Structure 1
C-alpha cells in the first residue's frame, strides 16, 4: 500500500513538473531575442513532455491532461498579468471561467477503472 502511494505521489510530482516546464516554455515565446526564446521554449516543452510521459504511467491520461490544462491556464494568466502586464476583456474572462469549469467537470466525471 505504501509503495503504491509513493509511486502515485511521484506521478503527481512529475505532472506538476510537466506543468511548470510547459508554462516556462510558453512564457519564453515573449522574449525580445527570438532565437533564444525559441531555444528555451523548445527545451522546456521537451522537459514538459518527458515529465508528462512519466506521469501518465500512473495517472489516467484524461485526468492528467485536464489538470495540466487547468493549472497551466491559471499559471499562464498569472504570468501574463504580473510579468507582461496584459489585460483581459470581460468576455475573455468569462471564457476562461467556462473553460476552467469544463475541465473541472471532466475531471470529476471521469470513470474510474
Structure 2
C-alpha cells in the first residue's frame, strides 16, 4: 500500500470518528443517533486499521485523537455555540504540537 493512501485512510478515520461523536449531540440521545454513531465508529476503526499498515500506530493514534478532538471542539464552537476555556485551548495547541513532535521523531 502506498503511504499517501494510508494518510487518506487516516483522514477518513478521523472524519468518521467526528461524525460518530457529533451524531450523539445532534440526536440528543435518540436511537438513530446511537445507530449512526455505531456505523461511523466501525468505519473509523476499519480505516484506522488500514492506515496502520504503513503509518506507525503511535503516530496514527496521536493524529487521530488530536485532530478528532480539535475538529469536534471547532464544530462545537461554530455550530453549537459552545465555549472553551483557556486551559482547553492550551490543551488543543499542545496536542497539535505533540503530533508535530511525534512526526518529527518518526524513523524514516
TM above 0.5, one fold? yes
Mapped pair 1:66 → 2:80: no
Mapped pair 1:22 → 2:21: no
Q: Shift of residue 33 of structure 1? A: 5.0
Q: Shift of residue 76 of structure 1? A: 0.9
TM-score (norm 1): 0.83
How many aligned positions are there?
A: 107
In 1, the alpha carbon distance for the partners of 2:102 and 2:64 equals 13
Mapped pair 1:42 → 2:61: no
TM-score (norm 2): 0.87
Q: Which deviations, in whole Å up to 9, do the C-alpha atoms of 1:49-79 show, x marking residues without a partner?
A: 0000011111111111121122212211111
In 1, the alpha carbon distance for the partners of 2:54 and 2:90 equals 33
Mapped pair 1:81 → 2:77: yes
Q: Which residue number in structure 1 is paired with residue 91 of structure 2?
A: 95
In 1, the alpha carbon distance for the partners of 2:6 and 2:90 equals 32
In 1, the alpha carbon distance for the partners of 2:58 and 2:77 equals 29
> Contact 1:66/1:107 (CA < 8 Å) preserved in 2?
no
Q: Shift of residue 25 of structure 1? A: 0.2
Q: Which residue number in structure 2 is paired with residue 105 of structure 1?
A: 101
Output the aligned Cα RMSD.
1.7
